[in-house]
Amino acid sequence: MLKRFLSALFCVLSFALYAQNGSISPYSSFGIGEVRGQATVENQSMGGLAMFTDSIHVNFQNPAAYGNLRVTNYAIGISSRNFTLKANGADNQRVAVTSLDYLSVGFPVSRKVAVGFGLQPLSSVGYNLQQETVNMDNDTVVNAFDGAGGISRVFLSAGYQPIPNLNVGASVRYNFGEITNDRIQSVQDVQFGTLDERTSNVNGFDFNYAVTYTPMILKNRYRLHSYMGVDTQVNLNSENTQRIGSFSLVNGSEIEVIDVDLAAQGLARTTVTLPTTLSVGLGLGVDKQWFGGLEIRSQDYSDFQNTFLRVENVEYGQASTVILGGYYIPDYNALSGIYNRIVYRAGVRFDKTGLSVNGEEINNFSISLGMGIPMGGSITDRFSNLNLGIEFGNRGTTAAQLVKENYFGIKIGLSLNDRWFIKRVIN
């Protein structure tokens, strides 16, 4: 019954995840939108580390981790983020967004192989900006920019453990979604405004490969965690449409709108390319007691372009991420109570996004804290847990007429475990 209920719940939530709008950031107007974290709440609470693996949790960023999975795992994650937007010469604006972050199922098919599949957002677009200027006739011109949509990702992953402590894995991922960008211009004391509406339907595959090696060292007292991952280049096929025209500022009705012949400009079908990501990590720990690790990622956005949605004063370059994170468990083997078995997690992260606007680099810094609370104790649910996390940080700058975002997020994840393949013994 539980399996049927969870399967039905996953189907319903999958539609909700695809339909949602998961961003309210002004910086989601650039590129493919705000690129979302691909980690579970457990890993997000350690700064987004991909390198750590265990036998009861899935890891979307690191398919090699599936080689350690020993139970069937259902994973669901949601988050709520609150932003304070700051700009020079303007009042602070406070906004919030709640989103469903991931759904997945993973299960072992043998002692050395496990597979998993799921759905999560790759990027989100959600902005509403307004700019006022004065034209040559001394009239106030208002440009309103609005964007919505994003790109979702479905994935199939497999991990294999050929020898103890060595795991390899791979994921195939299909990315799809729709992004709309609207610009509305109005002039003071003029009854009609102009509209420029652009829509892109995108899709494309990419792959993720990973290897982890976790030997015992120093007289078998500690475990060394080493990790390398590659996210291949993503080529997104984009089918584009554009509508331009005029509308009434009184009631909002369209007066005259036409479809632009993008085929004549070579813009009806374009390709958006996202660069390869290289990741390496190294850590140390004692199994079921503590762990600490450092992870570095690198991308080169220098060749990124979207010919259909060109934006002035924007440049792309080298991107990088540095993460330091880990966990601590007071007493994993405690015979009673859950308090000693709670997993305490923490992480710090710095992102050089590779995006420059008006000559200013857009960077991100965040600190994460979290805990994993055990749920139940029977043979079918002894490893299930509720994962809670918080994240606070900032992105952007107020220099060059830009916006600085200070944010605080709350994350909730359920990791529900079952053993599908245990043979029941009846006395």
Residue 48's alpha-carbon distances to 52, 56, 107, 151, 288, in angstroms, are 10, 18, 23, 20, 19
For residues 173 and 186, is the Cβ–Cβ distance under 8 A? no
Lowest mean pLDDT among 30-39, 330-339, 389-398: 330-339
Residue 341 lies in a domain: yes
Q: What is the pLDDT of residue 1?
A: 47
Give the whole-angstrom CA distance, residue 102 versus residue 207: 18
The predicted model gives 109-136 an average pLDDT of 91
pLDDT at 22 (0 to 100): 66
- Under DSSP, the state recorded for 53 is -
Find the Cα–Cα–Cα–Cα dihedral 172, 410, 73, 124, rounded to 10°: -20
How would residue 179 be classed by pLDDT, with cut points 50, 70 and 90?
A: very high
The average pLDDT across 234-260 equals 85
Residue-level pLDDT at 114? 98
**Highest-confidence range of 108-112, 125-129, 255-259, 379-383, by mean pLDDT?**
108-112
Q: Grade residue 254 by pLDDT with cuts at 50, 70 and 90.
A: low
In angstroms, the CA 308 to CA 304 distance is: 13
In this structure, are residues 105 and 74 in contact, taking their beta carbons and an 8 Å threshold? yes
Given a cut of 80, whether residue 75 has pLDDT beyond it is yes
pLDDT tens column, 47-67: 999 999 999 999 999 999 999
Once rounded to an integer, what is the mean pLDDT over residues 291-310? 91
3-state secondary structure of 251: coil
Please name which of 377, 369, 287, 292 lies closest in space to residue 332, comparing C-alpha atoms: 287
Does 188 score more than 50 pLDDT? Answer: yes
What pLDDT score does 360 carry?
Answer: 96
- Tally of domains in the chain: 1
Q: Does the residue 139 lie in any domain?
A: no
Query: Burial of 364 by CB count in 10 Å (0-12 exposed, 13-18 middle, 19+ buried)?
Result: middle
| Burial zone of 87 (CB within 10 Å; 0-12 exposed, 13-18 middle, 19+ buried) | middle
Distance between CA 228 and CA 280 in Å, rounded?
A: 4
What mean pLDDT is predicted for residues 97-104?
95
Question: Which amino acid is present at 118?
Answer: G
The rounded distance, in Å, linking the Cα atoms of 11 and 245 is: 40
Does 140 score more than 60 pLDDT?
yes
Average pLDDT over residues 321-336: 92
Q: Which helix (H) or strand (E) holds 43?
A: helix 41-44
Asked whether residue 291 carries a pLDDT value surpassing 90, the answer given is yes
Domain that holds residue 411: 2-120+151-172+209-232+274-418
Q: Are 112 and 64 in contact (CB under 8 A)?
A: no
Pairing state between β 290-300 and 277-286: antiparallel
Beta strand spans in 109-233 (E): 113-134, 140-163, 166-187, 192-213, 216-217, 222-231
- 279 strand-pairing partners: 229, 297
Q: What is the pLDDT of residue 16?
A: 54
Establish if 156 belongs to a structural domain. yes
Question: 316 in a domain, yes or no?
Answer: yes
Q: How far apart are CA 169 and CA 158, in angstroms?
A: 6
- pLDDT tens for 1-48 read 455 555 555 555 555 555 566 688 999 989 899 999 889 999 999 999
Task: Give the highest mean pLDDT range of 10-14, 128-132, 204-208, 257-261.
Answer: 204-208
Distances (CA, A) of 130 to 26, 27, 127, 182: 11, 14, 10, 12
Q: What is the pTM of this model?
A: 0.90
- 399 φ, ψ to 5°? -70, 160
Assess if residue 168 is contained within a domain: yes
Average pLDDT of the chain? 90
Q: Provide the 8-state DSSP code for 368.
A: E
141 in a domain, yes or no? no
User: Cα–Cα distances in Å, from 25 out to 29, 190, 294, 306?
Assistant: 8, 31, 28, 19
SS3 of 221, please? coil
Please report the pLDDT score of residue 422 as a whole number: 47
Provide the β-strand partners of residue 242: 198
Distance between CA 149 and CA 344 in Å, rounded? 35
73 has a pLDDT exceeding 90: yes
137 backbone dihedrals φ, ψ, rounded to 5°: -90, 10
Q: What is the CATH number of the domain that holds 103?
A: 2.40.160.60
First-to-final CA distance of the chain: 23
The two three-digit tokens of residue 381, written as one number: 């649910």
Please give the helix or strand (H or E) that residue 52 lies within, else none. none
pLDDT digit string (tens) for 198-231? 999 999 999 999 999 999 999 999 999 999 999 9
Q: What percent of the chain has pLDDT over 70?
A: 90
On whether residue 255 sits in a domain, the answer given is no
Domain presence at residue 369 = yes
Structural tokens at position 181: 């960008």
Mean pLDDT of the 360-364 span: 97
Question: Of 370, 321, 330, whose CA–CA distance to 346 is shortest?
Answer: 370
| Strand 277-286 relative to strand 222-231, pairing | antiparallel
